[in-house]
Structure formats: C-alpha cells, structure tokens
C-alpha cells in the first residue's frame, strides 16, 4: 500500500485503538488528552515518514510514539499529579518512564469494548452516543460525522462537548459493568450499534464511502461483543446476523453509475454468499437461550430476503415475522414493511387499506409504498402518491428512484 493510502488507512484502524487505551489509562475525564495524543502521533507520522520514508513496521512505530507521548504527558502535566502520586509512592523504585501504556492486542480489544459501554451510558442522548462512538471508536472526523447526521461541524462539536462534560460529571468509569448491570447496559450498546448500522445502510448523506464504513464499523464493534464471554449473548449474535444478511446485498443495491437498485431488481449473483453463511451461523448462535429480542425477528426477516425466490413460503414467513415484531415493538416503518409483505401474500386489494391506516403523511416511504400498491390497480392514484413521495424525499438517491418510477408510468400508461 502506498504512503498516500497507508496513513489514512492506519488512522482509520489505529487511531481508535490508541485513543481507547489512553482513555482507559487516563480516565474518561481526560478524553480530549487521549484524542490529542493519538492525533499528534499521526501528525508526526506524516512529517517523519515524508522525510525518512516508511518504517519497517508502521503500526509498531505508531504505538511506540503514542506510548512515549503518553508517558511525557504524565510527567509534565500537573492535572495528573494526584492520579499518579499514589502509584509513584507505592513503587518508588519505578520511574515515570516505566509506567505501562499497554497496547497489546488483548488490552486494545478490552479497552475498545469497555469504552463502548462508557460512551453508551444512558445519561447522554442516543445521538451523542453514536457521535462519540463514531469519533472515538471508529476514527471518523467531525465533518464525516456531520455528514452522517445531515448537520454542520459546529453542531457536532457542541453535541460531543456536552456529552463529554456529562460523562465527566457522572464520573463514568471505563470498565465492564458488573453482572447485574451488564444486561441493562448491553441493551443501550446494541441500540447504538443498530442505529449506527442503519445510518450506514440507509443514509440521506450522499457519501458512499462513509456509508460503507459505518456498516463495517458497526459490524466490527458488534463482533467485539461476540468475542467476549461477558457480552456474547443471543441478542448480540442476532444483531450480528442481521448486519451480515443486510451487508450481503450491499454490492447489489447500487448500479455502476450510483443509482439505487430496488430489491426486486437486484442481481442475486452479486449477493455475498460468505456473509450470508456468517449470518446463518450467528442466527444459529442466537437461538441458544429463551430470550426473543427484536434483533432475532429482524435478522430472520433479513434472512428470508437472501432467498431470491418470490414464493408464498418466503413472504408468508416474512409476514408472520412482521406480525411478531409489531407485537414486540411497534414502529411505523415496520408496519409499512409488513404491509408490503401482506400484498405479496394476500394481494394488493387487501394491503392497500391496511397501508392507508398507517397514515404517515410526512414520510416519503409511505407514499412510495402506496404508489407501488396502486400500480395496475389505480394508476392515477399510483402517480399521485409517487408525486407526493417526490415532494417529501430529501436525498437525491430517493428522488432518482421515484422519478424513475414516474417516468415508467408516463411511458407505459
């Protein structure tokens, strides 16, 4: 990999590791210091590597520099004096330079997982949880996070600053919760990863690389939960299965010129069979236990969408799963999706009144669904609904899809 590509790649993969370890070492109250040391490490890499060339082991070089910078910070910064004074008195034979900054694989993994629990503390808003996770655990820049939330850098900076202050005031520790607390906190962590993945899988941002990265980062963090005995639970495996099934169709969702390809028109040969197999494995692991979470149901729905055949068995299963999901946790979007499955099983005339009951008049997906259901039933109503969808759609991608459908009506009808 060339230097121009290597440094951004290493920043994406190693910044989060260094930051997590240093946050754990310093405490969450000094989170900005950990970020600054990690950032300064990469700035130095750009300067030195441009002059002297790449080191033999770039990752080891970054870790060594980060260690030294952290130790130097410990010696000269007065705010750490109280924190380390006791340790230095107890170990008077050790110099500050000998204080360990553990960047072993095991501590990196533990630090990232513990940091995830800290950042997903229920005392801060969900949007802030996702933003902090993107920044600290995924290595995203402020501008990238602003793109993901369709806002500006100033808003994101304020949001993250308030969240960090809240974590300081609450004196949140970067540790695993105890056994009694871990299930409660794990639910918040899974919600954050679920929303993070969804932001990647369907985002109104037009940054395609960002969307891919969001999905991959959500999967990576969920896999850390899977690998740890304390957090390897059925809901974790169910969420991983859901992510794998959805990601398996990622390449088929867009054409070469960037246009969205709807499910019925996707090329099955582009579906990633390896990810489908992984999804089936995680779904099997999720079945161990008595708990049924929304992730179990949604991953089962996602599995059936990896079965291309447009059969009664497929849509019948999907419909029943949506029925279960709505009983467990109602959402208007799930209700819309259920109505589409209903049209596949019972026909459009049964589905149309069920869809209209949902009455999401401010949601373009609602009108897109009605446009689809009314096609060849009442084509004028189909066009009217698609026109309403076009007025409400925010992203260029969605507008292109709707305009393509409208053009089809003009050509055929």
Per-residue pLDDT of 158-202, as tens digits, reads 999 999 999 999 888 898 888 778 877 888 889 889 888 887 787
pLDDT computed for residue 7 by the predictor: 84
Pick the range with the lowest mean pLDDT from 145-154, 241-250, 277-286.
145-154
Question: With pLDDT > 90 as the criterion, what percentage of the chain qualifies?
Answer: 47
Residue 301: pLDDT over 80: yes
411 pLDDT tier (thresholds 50, 70, 90): low
Pick the range with the lowest mean pLDDT from 180-194, 348-362, 375-389.
180-194
Own/partner long-range contacts of 284-290 (Cβ < 8 Å, ≥24 apart): 285/234, 285/237, 286/234, 286/235, 286/237, 286/238, 286/241, 287/234, 288/234, 289/233, 289/234
pLDDT computed for residue 127 by the predictor: 86
Q: How far is CA 382 from CA 278, 403, 404, in A?
A: 39, 13, 13
Whole-angstrom Cα distance, residue 378 to residue 356?
15
Q: How far is CA 161 from CA 20, 55, 121, 145, 173, in A?
A: 17, 36, 15, 14, 18
Residue 402: pLDDT over 60: yes
Q: Is 87 exposed, middle or buried (0-12, 13-18, 19+ CB in 10 A)?
A: exposed
Residue 302: pLDDT over 50: yes
Residue 97: pLDDT over 90: no
Residue 281: pLDDT over 90: yes
88 pLDDT tier (thresholds 50, 70, 90): very low
pLDDT computed for residue 93 by the predictor: 42
pLDDT computed for residue 58 by the predictor: 93
Question: With pLDDT > 70 as the criterion, what percentage of the chain qualifies?
Answer: 90
Tokens 């949880």 locate to 129
Whole-angstrom Cα distance, residue 196 to residue 243?
11
pLDDT computed for residue 81 by the predictor: 55
pLDDT computed for residue 3 by the predictor: 61
205 pLDDT tier (thresholds 50, 70, 90): low
Pick the range with the lowest mean pLDDT from 1-5, 220-224, 310-314.
1-5
Whole-angstrom Cα distance, residue 386 to residue 407?
11
6 pLDDT tier (thresholds 50, 70, 90): confident
Domain segments of the chain as ranges: 1-103, 104-214, 233-335, 360-413
Identify the residue with better confidence: 243 or 290.
243
Residue 119: pLDDT over 60: yes
352 pLDDT tier (thresholds 50, 70, 90): very high
pLDDT computed for residue 29 by the predictor: 87
Count of C-beta atoms within a 10 Å radius of residue 365: 17
Alpha helices of 170-268 — where are they, by DSSP H? 179-201, 208-227, 234-248
pLDDT computed for residue 311 by the predictor: 84
pLDDT computed for residue 178 by the predictor: 81
Q: What predicted TM-score, i.e. pTM, was given to this entire model? A: 0.81
Residue 280: pLDDT over 90: yes
Per-residue pLDDT of 132-163, as tens digits, reads 988 888 878 888 788 777 688 999 999 999 99
pLDDT computed for residue 243 by the predictor: 97
Name the range with the highest mean pLDDT among 109-123, 211-225, 235-249. Answer: 235-249
pLDDT computed for residue 94 by the predictor: 43
């Amino acid at each position: 990999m060339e230097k121009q590509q290597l440094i951004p790649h290493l920043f994406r993969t190693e910044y989060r590791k260094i930051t997590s370890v240093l946050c754990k070492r310093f405490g969450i109250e000094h989170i900005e210091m950990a970020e600054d040391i990690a950032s300064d490490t990469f700035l130095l890499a750009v300067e030195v590597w441009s002059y002297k060339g790449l080191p033999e082991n770039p990752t080891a070089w970054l870790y060594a520099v980060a260690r030294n910078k952290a130790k130097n910070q410990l010696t000269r910064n007065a705010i750490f004096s109280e924190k380390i004074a006791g340790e230095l008195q107890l170990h008077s034979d050790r110099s500050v330079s000998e204080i360990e900054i553990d960047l072993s694989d095991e501590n990196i993994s533990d630090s990232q997982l513990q940091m995830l629990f800290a950042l997903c503390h229920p005392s801060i808003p969900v949007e802030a949880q996702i933003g902090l996770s993107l920044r600290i655990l995924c290595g995203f820049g402020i501008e990238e996070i602003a793109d993901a939330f369709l806002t500006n850098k100033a808003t994101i900076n304020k949001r993250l600053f308030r969240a960090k202050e809240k974590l300081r005031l609450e004196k949140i520790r970067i540790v695993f919760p105890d056994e009694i607390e871990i299930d409660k906190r794990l639910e918040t962590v899974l919600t954050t990863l679920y929303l993070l993945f969804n932001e990647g899988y369907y985002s109104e941002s037009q940054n395609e690389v960002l969307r891919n990265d969001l999905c991959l980062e959500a999967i990576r963090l969920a896999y850390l939960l899977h690998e740890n005995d304390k957090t390897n639970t059925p809901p974790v495996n169910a969420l991983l299965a859901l992510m794998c099934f959805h990601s398996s169709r990622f390449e088929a969702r867009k054409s070469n010129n960037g246009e969205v390809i709807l499910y019925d028109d996707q090329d099955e040969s582009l579906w990633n069979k390896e990810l489908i197999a992984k999804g089936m494995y995680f779904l099997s692991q999720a079945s161990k236990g008595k708990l049924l979470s929304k992730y179990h149901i949604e991953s089962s729905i996602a599995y059936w969408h990896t079965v291309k055949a447009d059969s009664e068995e497929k849509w019948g299963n999907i419909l029943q799963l949506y029925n279960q999901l709505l009983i467990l946790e109602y959402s208007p979007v799930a209700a819309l999706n259920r109505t589409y499955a209903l049209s596949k099983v019972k026909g459009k005339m049964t589905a149309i009144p069920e869809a209209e009951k949902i009455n999401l008049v401010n949601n373009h997906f609602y009108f897109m669904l009605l446009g689809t259901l009314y096609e060849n039933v009442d084509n004028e109503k189909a066009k009217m609904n698609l026109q309403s969808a076009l007025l409400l759609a925010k992203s260029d991608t969605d507008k292109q899809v709707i305009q393509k459908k409208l053009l089809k009506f003009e050509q055929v009808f």
